[in-house]
Amino acid sequence: MNTLSTLWPYLKLHQRQFFLGTLAVFGAGTAVTLPAYFTRLIIDGLTGAADTNPATAGITAGQVALYALGAVLSVVVSGGLMVLVRRLIVYASRQIEYEVRRDLFAHLSGLDKHYFDRARTGDLMNRLTGDLSAVREMIGFGSWQLSSVVASFVVSFFWFFSLSWRLTLAVLVVFPVIIGVLFMLARLISARYVAVQEQNSVISAKAQENFSGARVVKGYAIEDREITEYKSLNSELIKRALRLTTVEGPLQASMSLLMGLAYVIVLIYGGRMILGLVPGSPLTLGQFTQFALVLDRLAWPMLSIGMITNMLQRGSASWGRLQDIFNAQPYIKDDGRTDSSIKSVLGEIEFDHVSLNFDGQQVLKDVSLKIPAGQTLGITGPTGSGKTVLGNLVTRLVDVSSGTVRVDGVDVRRIPLRVLRENVAVVPQEPFLFSDTIASNVAFGLDNANYAPIPTRISVLKSKAPPPDDRQPDMNRVRAAAEIAGLASEIERFPQGYDTTLGERGVTLSGGQRQRTALARAVAREPRILVLDDAMSAVDTETESRILSGLRQVQQGRTVLLIGHRVSTLRHADHIIVMERGQIVEQGSHEDLLALGGHYAELDRQQRLEGDLKSEDEGKLTRDALTEAASQIKPSGEPLSTEKVKA
Ligand SMILES: Nc1ncnc2c1ncn2[C@@H]1O[C@H](COP(=O)(O)OP(=O)(O)O)[C@@H](O)[C@H]1O
Ligand SMILES: [Mg+2]
């Protein structure tokens, strides 16, 4: 229950609705017992029983009609109030669901690579849907039912005591037993429910991975194995669900049994009181009838205690799972060191004795390097040598373990993240495209400035409805960027041109087209620093050269980190480094490195050889085919490294 306190800020946003709703619940709970009261007046009138009030002894036909009308009216009033309750409390629960979902999404968007490297998409989806619904049910239907049960008990016991305290005490003997049984069952149910939810998450995650990896699964023809695994996860789910059901059944049965017991007591003891067998405690037939009718009305609230405890347990377990997300904090965020006066960067990059460890593994060792603004640094080296990580340090997807990364001479940890990331564009090894038009994919990083951070923890009733999303990509910039990325002519040949909608993750494009779309996206942003992380591995050599010379023209005064394996493109860089096991093992200009006769020279020799082969055997064995072959040898998909070539 402790985790529920964090739900309070959201409830508070709607406290008026909850307060009025609870009042209406009590009103309805009172009104619904009135027919029993009118029944007593009629019966006692008809039997001429001496009631506490002598005026009711004896009754006219007019009075009977009046009481009957009263009974009907009270039912109508209670029905009307119920509608009002729904309008207040259930509405509030839907609104809170919206607010929590909005805040969860905003919070998730603020989390970093560190979190998403570990989180499973299917599990997150499950929390944002299933768990959020469970919370909504607890807040809406759950709190409504809870206050309705409390109202029923308060009103019923008011009547019980006013009718006969002896009979009330007799009934009360059974209640602790009922509550005890309920409590035990509810705890059991809660534990088993959590087990079901956990398995649900595992299954969603499995399905989600299989669907997004459908091509790989098919490609390796491992459908049967995947189906078998899914089946076993699924049968674990049904096992857990059945274990839940086995305890849910006895709950209902034992409730009916215990209520029956209370009835037996009322019948025997009340009957003796009517017959005058209990000295000092006379009871009229009308009073007895009212008692029995009110007790009868209590059966449902008693039964629903089980359901409500369940709903509350489920809701709070689910809220706990949502709270886990809210509790996750980004490792990398603006903090006390951030200097908010920094609004832009020029592009000089400096690595000053930078080291980096991941889980005890040293990934970068004492790397020192300075790239003046506007220059291009070529980076090459075998897979796993730390090239990508070097680029990630500049955008602060990761932070150094020791040493300092500086941009314009300023520690990157002092530059506001937004400023840094608006000025650095990365074209990753594996670009991610959205299932949207090509134009939107290219314009993805644009017109961000119009959006302010979304306020959280505010009521949906007070927040303005978001404007309709009618963003139109700036087509001039999109075209210019596509031109530089060497993509324009191909896109224009598509029947729908820039309006062509891509499949999920851009699967309807070739690998090279995907890479160039991602490149165009980065270029469109006109960043001060551009990181090309093996961004053209699927593009042929000639196109790559053309793109790079186009880039050089527009990238005047921009700093470029060019990670790659082709000497033909690396050679134009102002400075080239060769990485190996997290260290710079060679550096200098193209000529320097050739003269050095190390890894780089070997890479050059190897690629010349392939080039000669290609011109000798034109059309049969292209360099790209070689790269293709090489990438199949290495599971990472990267072309052969210098080391491999030597070996
Ligand atoms: N998020 C991460 N968690 C743990 N280890 C990582 C992570 N990212 C990269 N590494 C490790 O850092 C090393 C360098 O990776 P990377 O920079 O991607 O190499 P590459 O030169 O192929 O781009 C590798 O050994 C890799 O396993
Ligand atoms: Mg890499």
Q: What is the pLDDT of residue 126?
A: 85
Site to probe by mutation for ligand 1, drawn from 354, 389, 395 as the one with most ligand atoms within 8 Å of Cβ, is 389
Residues 6+ apart with CB under 8 A from 391: 426, 531, 533, 561, 563
Sheet of 575-580: strand order equals: 424-427, 529-533, 559-563, 376-380, 575-580, 583-588
List all residues 6 or more positions away from 386 whose beta carbon is below 8 Å from its beta carbon: 356, 363, 364, 367, 579, 581, 582
Q: Is the pLDDT of residue 95 over 60?
A: yes
Beta bridge partners of 354: 367
Three-state DSSP at 432 gives coil
389 lines ligand 1 (CB under 6 A): yes
Which residue's CA lies nearest to atom 4 of ligand 1? 358
CA dihedral of 599, 600, 601, 605, whole degrees rounded to 10:
100
| 621 against 509, higher pLDDT | 509
Q: Which of the two residues, 48 and 95, has the higher pLDDT score? A: 95
In this predicted structure, the answer to whether residue 123 has a pLDDT above a threshold of 70 is: yes
3-state SS, residue 454 = coil
Please give the domain boundaries of the chain with CATH numbers for all domains: 2-189+246-327 (1.20.1560.10), 349-451+472-646 (3.40.50.300)
Question: Which pLDDT band holds residue 407 (cuts at 50, 70, 90)?
Answer: very high
Output the pLDDT for position 87: 95
- Which residues partner with 424 through β-bridges? 529
Cβ(641) – ligand 1 distance below 6 Å: no
* Averaged pLDDT for residues 264-272: 91
Between 115 and 260, where is the model more confident? 115
Between the CA of 631 and the centroid of ligand 1 the distance, in Å, is 18
Mean predicted confidence (pLDDT) in 77-102: 96
Give the distance (Å) from ligand 1 centre to CA of residue 360.
Answer: 13
Give the CA distances from residue 647 to residues 154, 443, 556, 610, 643, in Å, rounded to whole numbers and listed in that order. 85, 44, 40, 17, 6
Task: Check: CB of residue 424 under 8 Å from CB of residue 403.
Answer: no
pLDDT over 90 at 305, yes or no:
no
Distances (CA, A) of 33 to 36, 39, 75, 174, 291: 6, 10, 9, 22, 10
Q: Is 117 a pocket residue for ligand 1 (Cβ < 6 Å)?
A: yes
pLDDT class for 70, splitting at 50, 70, 90? very high
pLDDT, tens digit (0-9, with 9 covering 90-100), for 528-540: 999 999 998 888 8
Ligand 1 atom with least separation from CA of 429: 23
According to DSSP, the β-strands at 583-588 and 575-580 are antiparallel
Q: Are 518 and 535 in contact (CB under 8 A)?
A: yes
Taking the CB of residue 517, how many other CB atoms lie within 10 A of it? 24
Residue 113 CA, closest ligand 1 atom number:
1
- Integer Cα distance of 498 and 521 in angstroms: 13
Long-range CB pairs of 265-268 (<8 Å, 24+ gap) are 265/170, 265/171, 265/173, 265/174, 266/167, 266/170, 266/171, 266/291, 266/292, 266/295, 267/292
How far from 103 is each of 100, 107, 109, 117, CA to CA, in Å? 5, 6, 10, 21
Q: What is the pLDDT of residues 184-207, one digit of tens each?
A: 777 788 788 878 988 988 998 899
Band of residue 137 on the pLDDT scale cut at 50, 70, 90: very high
Q: Give the pLDDT band of residue 128 (cuts 50, 70, 90).
A: very high
Specify the pLDDT at position 472: 82
Judged against a pLDDT cut of 50, whether residue 583 lies above it is answered with yes
Strand arrangement, sheet containing 349-358: 361-371, 349-358, 402-407, 410-411
The reported pLDDT for the residue numbered 53 is: 52
The pLDDT score that the predictor gives to residue 633 is 46
Structure-token match 């060792």, residue found? 365
Q: Report the C-alpha gap between 391 and 259 in whole angstroms.
A: 70
Give residue 340 CA to ligand 2 midpoint distance, Å: 32
**DSSP states of 332-373 as a string?**
S---TT--TT-------EEEEEEEEEETTEEEEEEEEEEE-T
3-state secondary structure of 246: helix
Over residues 145-156, mean pLDDT? 95
The whole-number pLDDT of residue 621 equals: 47
The 3-state secondary structure of 8-52 reads: HHHHHHCHHHHHHHHHHHHHHHHHCCHHHHHHHHHHHHHHCCCCC
Cβ neighbors of 578 (< 8 A, separation 6 or more) are 380, 381, 584, 585, 586, 587, 593, 598, 599, 600, 642
What's the pLDDT score for residue 250? Answer: 81
Between CA 263 and CA 257 the distance in angstroms is 10
204: amino acid identity, one letter: S
Query: Does residue 363 line the site of ligand 1, with CB under 6 A?
Result: yes
For residue 178, is pLDDT > 90?
no
Q: Please tell me the distance from the alpha carbon of residue 510 to that of residue 548, in angstroms, as a whole number.
A: 20
Higher pLDDT, 206 or 49: 206
Rounded to the nearest 10 degrees, what angle do helices 15-31 and 61-85 cross at?
160
Instruction: Answer yes or no: is pLDDT of 57 > 70.
Output: no
- Per-residue pLDDT band at 618 (split at 50, 70, 90): low
Return the amino acid letter for 305.
I
pLDDT at residue 645, as a whole number: 39
Which amino acid, residue 160? F
At residue 634 the predicted structure's pLDDT band, cuts being 50, 70 and 90, is very low
Cβ–ligand 1 contact at 537 (below 6 Å): no
In this structure, which ligand is nearest to the CA of 357? 1
Any atom of ligand 1 within 6 Å of the Cβ of 385: yes
| Residue-level pLDDT at 638 | 43
Residue 33: CB within 6 Å of ligand 1? no
CB contact at 8 A, 539 and 372: no
How far is residue 306 from each of residues 131, 302, 312, measured CA to CA in Å? Answer: 20, 8, 10
pLDDT score recorded for residue 438: 93
- Lowest mean pLDDT of 190-204, 318-332, 560-574, 575-589, name the range: 190-204
Q: Got the DSSP string for 506-564?
A: GTTS-HHHHHHHHHHHHHHT--SEEEEESTTTTS-HHHHHHHHHHHHHHTTT-EEEEE-
Q: How far is the CA of 385 from the centre of ligand 1 (A)?
A: 8
pLDDT > 90: what percent of the chain? 61
- In which band, very low, low, confident or very high, does the pLDDT at 77 lie, cut at 50, 70 and 90? very high
d(CA 205, CA 120): 6
CB atoms within 10 A of CB 202: 16
For the segment 415-422, the average pLDDT, to the nearest whole number, is 93
Both tokens of residue 624? 């790209």
Helix (H) and strand (E) counts for the chain? 26, 10
In this structure, which residue's CA is closest to atom 19 in ligand 1? 384
Ligand nearest the Cα of residue 380 is: 1
pLDDT > 70: percent of the chain:
92
Containing 584, the helix (H) or strand (E) segment is: strand 583-588
For ligand 1, atom 12: residue with the closest CA: 363
Backbone angles phi, psi at 232, to 5 degrees: -70, -35
Residue 368: pLDDT over 50 = yes
Check pLDDT > 70 for residue 637.
no
Q: How far is CA 397 from CA 176, 348, 385, 425, in A?
A: 58, 18, 17, 12
pLDDT at 505: 78
Is pLDDT above 80 for 179?
A: no
Task: Using the predicted structure, report yes or no on whether residue 640 has a pLDDT greater than 80.
Answer: no
pTM: 0.81
Identify which ligand lies nearest to the alpha carbon of 382.
Answer: 1
- Placement of tokens 């009181």 in the chain: 273
Exposed, middle or buried: residue 347 (CB in 10 Å: 0-12, 13-18, 19+)? buried
Across 115-124, 217-226, 346-355, 634-643, the highest mean pLDDT is recorded for 346-355
Residue 620: pLDDT over 80: no
Supply 540's token pair: 């042929």
- Rounded to the nearest integer, the mean pLDDT of the chain is 87
Q: Are 352 and 536 in contact (CB under 8 A)?
A: no
